[in-house]
Amino acid sequence: MVKKRSWLLLLTFLLTLGLLAACGGQEQTGGETEQEEPQEEETTQPDKKVVVGAMDTAPNGQFNPIFYTDAYEANIIGLVFESLIARDENLEFQPELAESWEINEDHTSVTFKLREGITWHDGEPFTADDVVFTYKALSDPEYIAAGGVRTNYVAHLVGFQEYQNGETDEFPGVVALDDYTVQFNYAEPNVLALADAAFPIIPEHIFGDVPVSEIPEHEASLKPGKVIGTGPFKFVDMIEGEQYILEKNENYWKGEPKLDSFVWRVVNANVILGMLETGELDFVGDPTGISPDDYELVSAMDHVEIIEEADFGYQILGFVHNFRTEEDINNGVINPDNFVPNEKLQDKRVRQAIAYAIDREGLIDALLKGHGEVVNSPIAKQWWVYDDQNPTQYKQDVEKAKSLLEEAGYVDVDGDGFVETPDGEPYELTMAYPLGNPIREQSAPIIQDMIQKVGIKVNLLQPMEFGAYSEQLEVNTDWDLYLLGWSLGTTDPDPSPLWSADAAYNYGRWNNPEADELAKKAITPPDAFDRDFRKEVYSDWQVMFQDDLPALLLYARNSIWAYNKRITGVDHLPWSLLNDVHEWDVTE
């Protein structure tokens, strides 16, 4: 059973705001004078090295790693906070705040040696106490009720359940052995030991005396100048919904950043291209990216470099299998035992018919201009466990879709072109989708038309701003289909945080005990220490996912990033343009 408070992701398109001058503008003081007095020596203040990036949607405003909820907040958080370890371009763990680690023989304990001399942005030393505090906060009895959803990082720790339930004040799961040595202790041999230890660390000296329930509203979670990390840039100022300014951390442990400032501007997606062309914007990364429609135009800009990578995520057409009860919604509880079946989608043959109705290749060609690909698994294809062979492929087949509907008893009784239920009642599905992603918005009526062509009537609901939409997804009691996109984490391929029955983000309330058991088996030692074993189990899970269809994976849109060639030192990762940004520099 998981308890959680509804949280609001307020993601709103905003008009272009000319609040910053073009990058690299000169600022001079002094100069020649026409007076006959002795001339002062001409002095020139060096240009500030500033880069400006674009986001088409404003961050919701939560800048604490343990509570943030959207990718726009992550753009800021990722420059401010760091983890003990991080993934490299090959998805292998590399040292970050920790310089080394040792795993004991039975994989129940990992001991990290922290780098000495690292300081927080306010000058306080970074120590093992900060690591312990972060993981205690994630395990706190008040964490989920306060809106936290990242307990998967702490669920395997020794004493987690007892501490979360308030049965003890002791927390043996993460222990500081000295100021620069911290030990993670797991209740059982843990395949995810390193992945679980890869969460961004927050400062104990800032939040140590703050009840976890109050951390989301604390100034150090919300206000520039108060948000304190160890990363290469400090979050120093903002005009909410318009621009977010970060300045270099001169004492950054990897070396003083070469840029002075890193600025995010919130601009309408329709004008990003023009601003990139004029130099008002220096780069466009995730989650906005360059539209496939604009690829050729951007590639023709001599001063702009384009990077294209397979997306570490996907877009889905979600099927609502079950609803939460009103009581569970009011109590902030997700309890699969209490789920109420959505009778309209209980027969998997209906879900499969819808899947066969969709021309996913056609969506990629028409909307993505070929800059994407069909995926048949909710595990990112970059992982070694991705199975592109065994799961059902669902290539569009209208006749098969109609046959499945007929087999399930859904036939057109009255001749109006739409099927009735096996009981002869009118059959209609509702489909919801959010504003904020132009391609997804364009896809909604196309998908509606494709489904209706096989005989299922679809009521396309009025689109909602993303914040309201995401809140409604949590408490939905009447939607049948929904459109959504997921960016996936890079710590481990485990799909449970999105698709297990009690997962907060499992908005379709898919409840398949056999699938959950497979997902658990894939991380259960000792067999799960064998990659081939995990690959086989996850293959079975992916086959089951595609058969039971909690969602139809529509496509993985390629990430298309662009940056002005005046920026040097760009060394992107497969899932992010923002890597080693302390090495970024600018030339005029």
Q: Which of 11-25, 162-176, 272-286, 318-332 has the lowest mean pLDDT?
A: 11-25
Provide the 8-state DSSP code for 56. Answer: S
Contact residues for 478 (Cβ-Cβ < 8 A; gap 6+): 323, 430
What pLDDT shows up at residue 399?
97
Write down how long the chain is.
588
What pLDDT digit, counting tens, does each position of 145-180 carry?
898 989 989 999 999 999 999 999 999 999 999 999
Q: How far apart are CA 459 and CA 480, in angstroms?
A: 10
Are 549 and 538 a contacting pair, CB within 8 Å? Answer: no
Q: CB count, 10 Å around CB of 439?
A: 18
Q: What percent of the chain clears pLDDT 90, i.e. is strictly above it? A: 78
Q: Which of 4-18, 242-256, 305-319, 346-360 has the lowest mean pLDDT?
A: 4-18
What pLDDT shows up at residue 46?
55
Closest CA to 134 of 188, 171, 79, 87: 171
388, 389, 394, 399: CA torsion to nearest 10: 160
The residue-averaged pLDDT of 577-586 equals 96
DSSP string, 115-135: PTT-B-TTSPBP-HHHHHHHH
235-244, 463-472, 481-490 — most confident range:
235-244
What pLDDT digit, counting tens, does each position of 312-335 carry?
889 999 999 999 999 998 888 899
- E-strand stretches of 428-581: 428-432, 457-460, 481-487, 551-557, 559-564, 567-568
262-276, 303-317, 401-415, 476-490 — most confident range:
401-415
Q: How far apart are CA 395 and CA 236, in angstroms?
A: 50
What pLDDT shows up at residue 16?
29
What pLDDT shows up at residue 26?
28
What pLDDT shows up at residue 115?
98
Tokens 């306010």 sit on residue: 122
What pLDDT digit, counting tens, does each position of 82-125 carry?
999 998 988 889 999 999 999 999 899 999 999 999 999 999 99
Provide the 8-state DSSP code for 109. Answer: E
- What's the distance, CA 413 to chain centroid? 45
Q: Which of 22-26, 100-104, 274-278, 334-338 has the lowest mean pLDDT?
A: 22-26
Contact residues for 306 (Cβ-Cβ < 8 A; gap 6+): 290, 295, 298, 299, 560, 561, 562
Closest CA to 109 of 189, 163, 176: 189
Q: How far apart are CA 434 and CA 476, in angstroms?
A: 14
Two structure tokens written together for 359:
């021309």
Q: How far apart are CA 416 and CA 368, in angstroms?
A: 34
What pLDDT digit, counting tens, does each position of 427-459 carry?
999 999 998 788 899 999 999 999 999 999 999
Tell me the CA distances in angstroms from 128 to 152, 188, 205, 211, 441, one per residue in order: 21, 23, 12, 20, 46
User: pLDDT averaged over the chain?
Assistant: 90
What pLDDT shows up at residue 552?
98
- E-strand stretches of 278-424: 283-284, 304-309, 313-319, 322-323, 333-334, 340-341, 372-373
The residue-averaged pLDDT of 62-67 equals 97
Q: Which residues partner with 458 through β-bridges?
A: 429
Q: Which of 373-377, 382-386, 452-456, 485-489 has the lowest mean pLDDT?
A: 485-489
- pLDDT tier for residue 491 given thresholds of 50, 70 and 90: confident
What pLDDT shows up at residue 378?
95
- pLDDT tier for residue 30 given thresholds of 50, 70 and 90: very low
Q: Residue 298 is inside which H or E element, if any? A: helix 295-299
Are 558 and 368 a contacting pair, CB within 8 Å? Answer: yes
What pLDDT shows up at residue 586?
96
In which order are the strands placed within the sheet that holds 428-432?
Answer: 372-373, 551-557, 313-319, 481-487, 428-432, 457-460
- pLDDT tier for residue 35 given thresholds of 50, 70 and 90: very low
What pLDDT shows up at residue 71?
84
Q: Between vectors from CA 91 to CA 86 and to CA 95, what angle results, nearest 5°?
A: 30
- pLDDT tier for residue 237 given thresholds of 50, 70 and 90: very high
What pLDDT shows up at residue 70?
83
Q: How far apart are CA 75 and CA 487, in angstroms?
A: 13
Q: Which of 18-27, 214-223, 260-269 has the lowest mean pLDDT?
A: 18-27
Q: Which of 44-53, 135-144, 215-224, 555-564 has the lowest mean pLDDT?
A: 44-53
pLDDT above 90: residue 213: yes
Provide the 8-state DSSP code for 351. Answer: H
What pLDDT shows up at residue 280?
95
- What's the distance, CA 166 to chain centroid? 30
pLDDT above 60: residue 12: no
123-137, 265-279, 304-318 — most confident range:
123-137
